[in-house]
Amino acid sequence: MEIDKAIRDSDDRRLKAKYNTAIYVIQRALALYSIEEVAFSFNGGKDSTVLLHLLRAGHFLHQVEHGHSNGDLSDHQFTFPIRTIYFESTSAFPEINSFTYETAASYGVQLDILRQDFKSGLEALLKAKPIRAIFLGVRIGDPTAVGQEQFSPSSSGWPPFMRVNPILDWSYRDVWAFLLTCKVQYCGLYDQGYTSIGSINDTVPNALLCIKDSAADKQKFRPAYMLSDGRLERAGRARKVSPIAGRVPAVSNGLKCTEPHQSSVLTASIVAVGDEILFGIIEDQLGPSLCRKLHSIGWVVSQIAIVRSDVDSVAEEVEKRKSTSDMVFIYGGVGPLHSDVTAGGVAKAFGVRLAPDEEYEEYLSQLFGDKYTGDRNEMARLPEGITELLQHEKLPVPLIMCHNVIILSATNVDELDVQWDALIDSRSTALTSLGPFLSKHLTTSLTDLEVAQPLSKISFEFPDIYIGCYRKSRTGPLTITFEGKDEEKVEAAMEALSVKLSSVVK
Ligand SMILES: Cc1cc2nc3c(=O)[nH]c(=O)nc-3n(C[C@H](O)[C@H](O)[C@H](O)COP(=O)(O)O)c2cc1C
Ligand SMILES: Nc1ncnc2c1ncn2[C@@H]1O[C@H](COP(=O)(O)OP(=O)(O)OP(=O)(O)O)[C@@H](O)[C@H]1O
Ligand SMILES: [Mg+2]
């Protein structure tokens, strides 16, 4: 079976682990329900395309296990035996419609086309057919995944059936790793910068994939698999636009299609975990170093917090920061000791549990060998369903990323340097360089009282320039700093203040 073979032949351990879990879920469902009792909800989207091929492989393996097939791995001509439903809508992209029909034809899939809304369509279907379980390509991070597990009964108010979500814990990156590794066809819209597809009324290409090319009259987009931060997968679906504007790829999620540094500033929060820092026994050196690194790539650090080494303190801080910052960096409290509570705190902040992560466990056992036994397995328990491992050749063990929270295991500045370089190199985080800040400063021996009024006027006139002040001693000169991304504006702000201050001197 070519899908199973492609995954087994691949050396992507994470993908293998995700594949195995999905196949396990599919096989359990096929053991629980007869083939007449299951259905597959297919809509030509990338997630349901992944699921189609997983179902093909899962059903094939199920047959082999039960002695119904000769197990011939080159068996391509397998007719797809699971009832497949497609809710066709007049507002679907024509490319999605044709891909759905063509794919069905290629893999022997019999499509049941439903032209009602989901609920009425399912009510009618369940009256007519003995369906008890429906496979869906829902993934954690989808708005509809909230509260769902791999097997979730339909919600109240819906007809009764089991929703089976074999790829619930797959990330955006896993989806693309699967489609590219298995070399299967996917809808052509994904090669035109669409990263998640709804209807023509609410979907445009993802502005984060826009290629700036002033020579061309039409904007171009990179393919969906190039999106480095899966969190932003739905950026092209955030805003409802008119049907005509929906096909014009100029605006998405309020972001103009420009180089990111021209239109946006991203913010980061830093969380250090450690009672010893709060007791004053050791000093946090990673926080200031991270601030410099983030500033150098054009990010704004909005906060550094130091929290106690307990799960609730970590969870409370991460919960606040993850929704107000684009990225949260957390360090300290990583390891197998009783005080190593960071992973647990992050899990709690996202409302998930800690569960063994096979892939991470493998890295740890390679690193620690035989010593890695017993309680040390604790280290391989990571937030379930939301963890992405960020591998890099320079790192002995991958970094852990849970949505927009990156757990750093560095304990000193040298280790941080290595992890930072790996993050910058890694295309799977959103840590893109936004273009550096331009910094200028001037010093004055005027008093704070003399400077206050002109300075507040200038701050008001230049709202997008960060104007700050510091002094090294109460009696020494005052340094005024100007930070911004537009050199001319930074200089204009500094010049304007100089003029105002010189008139104070006179
Ligand atoms: C087969 C199937 C089963 C569904 N079951 C439920 C359900 O039990 N409860 C629910 O609230 N929505 C259910 N939905 C609706 C989806 O959660 C969601 O609203 C729909 O896929 C639209 O998603 P979109 O807004 O991202 O296009 C179901 C949809 C499908 C196709
Ligand atoms: N019109 C539809 N007909 C049948 N199933 C659907 C339809 N819309 C959604 N689904 C089911 O819901 C799942 C989740 O939809 P979702 O839009 O998140 O994923 P997708 O369409 O597969 O991929 P993408 O996120 O790129 O749009 C689908 O994988 C599919 O199982
Ligand atoms: Mg979709």
Which amino acid belongs to residue 193? G
Is the pLDDT reported for residue 239 higher than 90?
Answer: no
Mean pLDDT within 66-87: 74
Alpha-carbon distances, residue 199 vs 81, 236, 245 (angstroms)? 28, 11, 12
Token pair for residue 245? 């504007």
How far, in Å, CA of 456 to CA of 479, rounded? 15
Identify which has the larger pLDDT, 306 or 217: 306
| Rg of the chain on CA atoms, in Å | 27
Pair of tokens at residue 366? 């390679």
Distance separating alpha carbons of residues 479 and 70, to the nearest angstrom: 79
Q: Are 204 and 248 in contact (CB under 8 A)?
A: yes
Ligand 2 atom with least separation from CA of 190: 26
CA of 408 from ligand 2 middle (Å) equals 34
Mean pLDDT of 46-65: 96
Are 167 and 47 in contact by the 8 Å Cβ rule? The answer is yes
Give the DSSP letter string of 259-299. Answer: -HHHH---EEEEEEE-HHHHTTSS---HHHHHHHHHHHTT-
Per-residue pLDDT tens over the stretch 242-284? 332 233 333 333 333 433 333 457 899 999 999 999 999 999 9
Q: Is 310 in contact with 318 (CB distance < 8 Å)?
A: no
> What is the distance in A from the centroid of ligand 1 to the CA of 42?
12
Phi and psi at residue 437, to the nearest 5°: -75, 150
pLDDT of residue 172: 92
Q: Are 384 and 169 in contact (CB under 8 A)?
A: yes
**Ligand 1 and 144: CB distance under 6 A:** yes
- Let me know if 392 is exposed, middle or buried by CB neighbors in 10 A (0-12, 13-18, 19+): middle
- Give, using CA atoms, the residue closest to atom 19 of ligand 1: 144
Q: Which long-range contacts (CB under 8 A, 24 or more apart) does 253-258 make?
A: 253/207, 255/207, 255/208, 256/207, 257/207, 257/210, 257/212, 257/219, 258/210, 258/212
Q: Where are the alpha helices (DSSP H) in 369-447?
A: 413-425
Closest listed residue to residue 136, CA positions, set 45, 37, 260, 222:
45
Tokens of 331: 């360090």
Contact 181, 7 (CB under 8 A): yes
Q: What is the pLDDT of residue 246?
A: 30
* Helix, coil or strand: residue 97: helix
And the tokens for 267? Answer: 């913010």
| Rounded distance between C-alpha atoms, residue 500 and residue 455, angstroms | 8
In the predicted model, is pLDDT for residue 505 greater than 70? no
Question: Of 502, 371, 372, which is closest to residue 446 (Cα–Cα)?
Answer: 502
pLDDT of 189 strictly over 80: yes
Over residues 73-101, mean pLDDT: 86
Determine the 3-state secondary structure of 349 from DSSP: helix
Q: Whose CA is nearest to atom 26 of ligand 1?
A: 198
CA of 117 to the centre of ligand 1 (A): 10
Q: Residue 214: what pLDDT?
A: 58
Among 232, 234, 205, 235, residue whose Cα is nearest residue 220: 205
ipTM for this prediction: 0.97
Ligand 1 centroid, distance to 118 Cα (angstroms):
7
> Is residue 123 very low, low, confident or very high in pLDDT (cuts 50, 70, 90)?
very high
Res 190 pLDDT > 60: yes
Q: Is 253 helix (H, G, I), strand (E, B) or coil?
A: coil
User: Which residues of 34-99 form beta strands (DSSP E)?
Assistant: 38-41, 83-87
The number of residues in the chain equals 506
Residue 85 CA: nearest ligand 1 atom is 1
Cα of 197 vs centre of ligand 1, distance in Å, is 14
Ligand 2, CB cutoff 6 Å, lining residues: 41-43, 45-48, 85-87, 136-138, 142, 196-197
pLDDT band (50, 70, 90) for residue 404? very high
Which two tokens mark 197? 């597809």
Q: Which atom of ligand 2 is nearest to the CA of 138?
A: 14
User: Range with the lowest mean pLDDT among 47-56, 81-90, 458-467?
Assistant: 458-467
Query: Quick one: which of 60, 63, 40 has its CA closest to 52?
Result: 40
For ligand 1, the distance from its centroid to the CA atom of residue 184, given in whole angstroms, is: 26
Percent of the chain topping pLDDT 70: 89
For residues 412 and 390, give the distance between their C-alpha atoms in angstroms, rounded to a whole number: 20
Q: Which ligand 1 atom is the nearest neighbour of the CA of 136?
A: 1
